[in-house]
Every structure is written in structure tokens, then in C-alpha cells.
Amino acid sequence: MIEEHRGYLRDRHRIAAYDRALRSLVPADAVVVDLASGTGILGMLACRAGAARVYAIEKEGIAGLARDIARANGLADAIRNIRGSAASVTLPELAAVACCDQMGPFGIDAGVIELSQLARSRFLAQDGRFMPHRLELWLAAVEQGRLQERLGFWNTQPARFDFSPVTDVAANSPAHVDLEPIDLVSEPVCAATLDLMADVALPVTMTTTLRASRRGTLHGLGGWFTAWLAPGVSMTNSPVAIDRIRRRNLFLPLGAPLAIEAGTAIDVRVQVRPAEGMYAWEVRVNGREPIRRSSLRALMLDRDDLLRTHPGNRPTLSREGEATLTVLRLCDGQRTVAEIEHAAFAGHRDLFVTEESAAAFVADVLARA
């Protein structure tokens, strides 16, 4: 996690864009909410921009480290670090600005839509602003031999065994990659614009036509985003942008390469369910039979998985489920964690070999409770 955040902080284009945006958005002595705050960089930039108080909400353990970082920068009184989920935290006042950096390679794939809705319903004053306030989702046709080689690997008989059943899973698996301008065989098209100050219709569905800019081979679709942070301030991970931020791009493979000529019409339909991380994409070249892919086919669910989640199934608790129930019932505000660990070990000796394994199980249950 620390290495991930080091990458974020090294990204000068990203930091500069957020700094400009917050200076534009934050009124003097305002209240700001930083959602999924991580190291707290956005909250500290908000303080620099003039915020009187920042509520930094973070559900992971990095919240404690962020508190130390705020203190090291003389901001312990201004930034109030709160460990918890944005869906459950209650604040004593409403904010003028709420912000987050939960944007993945395709913008909507890291929680920004859900956080924008929570911000508007729970944290923002009536005239408050959410940053980013708008997302543009871009698509382009991609020719990338190295990515195609990944798919072809499963037909090379590694160790002289047949792994070809993996091919269909790989062909339906979205990937995060670093695209370069040379990889694009069409001009990029803005396939969707999402207003994050309003409810976003889900699933997000994009239908567009790409036009091949040169002769080549179509291996799949590339995707990225432009985030509008404030009026006149944006940032993007576009492979053709000089000031692109250090965030990877989305690649949706076709599986079977298609030869294309300059001017070839490539009809595209992409559907995204951000909360589930699910993608479905369809590509039709020159009106021919479309190629359809779905990340649902890459989930590797076996028959037992499907039976367990079938609406007609009558589930029973496993041994792990029984132990989980024991731990939750003992969370009564009276017993200590040590007492709960001892009770779990004593009551489920068929599951736990040692007291240490019971303690680890209890810790995992409490972390998710």
C-alpha cells in the first residue's frame, strides 16, 4: 500500500491538478470532506487552499498513519482523521466541498460514483461541490502485439501440457496496461460524460463508432478517463496527453485479432457495472458478426459456486460460518478480544489447531464486522 501511495505522490501532474482545483473550489474557512483519504494529501492541499476544517474519512489502517502525517505538518487541529466507511460515518456539520481520488484506469472502476452519491446525500451543504464533478470516458481501437501474446500463451502447451481451456477466460479478462500513442489504431472517442453532481444511471452503457486511422490489426479496445476537478481544471490518464497522470489504462481484448484498413468502421458497445467490477463489450467491424466478451465469463465459477448462490438453494452454515457467528455473538461490549479469542478456540477445536490460528480468525472477523 505504501508503494502505491508513493506512486501517487510522485505524480506531479496529479498533485498539481488537485492543488489548482482545491484553490479554486475551497472558500476561506470552509469545511471540507476528504473521502477514502489515504495519506491525507487532498485534505492537506485543502488546508493550504484555506479550509478551516477537514474531515478525512478512511476505512483502512492507513488512517492512523495519515493522522501522524497531519501532525508532522502542523495540521493536527485542522484535519480530523476518522476511521470508518463513508456509508456509516456521521459528521457534526455539512461541508462546502467533498473530494476523493477513487478513480481507476477507466475512471469509474474504483468507487467514485458511489462516493459522489454518498457525498451529496450525507456530507455536502445544499450548494456544496464534489470533486471531481464530471468524468469523460474515452475509448479507442488498440493494436498491441504484446497484449495479444498474453492470450496466445495459453495455446503454446507449456511443459507440453494442453492449457487451451484457459484461452476463453483470458479473452474475457479486462487488463490494466500502459498504452502508448503508437498502440492506437483509431482516433479516441469520448464515449460517455458522467455528471457526478447528479445520479448516474447504472450500468454505465456506451455505444459509439470508432474509425480506423490506419491499416493494422485490431486486438482490443483501450479505455481511459478525463476527470474535471473544477472549472477549467482537469486531469487525464490518456495515452496521447502530454500531461497524463501516472494511472494505467483499461484494455478489453477481442481474443481473435482482426485485420483492418484505414477508414474501417468499428462499432463498439461497452457496459460497466462499477460496484461489481463487471464489464461486457461488443465489437462489430464493417457490419460483420459482432464479437462479444464479458468479464462474467472470466470469473472461473465452478458448478458448486453456482449452486451455492442459486435462488432456490437452502444454505447451511459451514464450520467457518459457525465460528464467525460465535465471534459476532460475543461482541457484546463486555468481553475483551482476548476472551473472544479464547471462547472461539474452546468452542471450535475442530477448526482451530492452535490458539494463534483462532486469534487470527477473530482478528479477521472483527476487521470486517
Q: Is the per-residue pLDDT at 202 higher than 80? A: yes
The residue extents of the domains of the chain are 2-101, 135-298, 319-368
Specify the pLDDT at position 161: 95
Q: Is the per-residue pLDDT at 251 higher than 80? A: yes
Mean pLDDT over the full length of the chain: 94
Measured N-to-C along each axis, helices 319-329 and 337-347 cross at an angle, to the nearest 10 degrees, of 150
Instruction: Write down the pTM of the prediction.
Output: 0.89
The pLDDT confidence band at residue 1, using thresholds 50, 70 and 90, is: confident
More confident residue, 245 or 309: 245
CB neighbours of residue 346 within 10 Å: 12
- CATH code for the structural domain at 135-298: 2.70.160.11
The pLDDT confidence band at residue 304, using thresholds 50, 70 and 90, is: confident
SS (H, E, C) 257-326: EEEECCCCEEEEEEEEEHHHCEEEEEEEECCCCCEEEEHHHHCCCCHHHHHHCCCCCCCCCCHHHHHHHH
Hey, do 2-101 and 135-298 end up sharing a CATH topology, with the first three levels equal?
no
- Predicted confidence (pLDDT) per residue in 56-97, tens digit: 999 998 999 999 999 999 999 999 999 999 999 999 999 999
Give the pLDDT mean for 200-220: 96
- CATH code for the structural domain at 2-101: 3.40.50.150
- Predicted confidence (pLDDT) per residue in 167-191, tens digit: 999 999 999 999 999 999 999 999 9
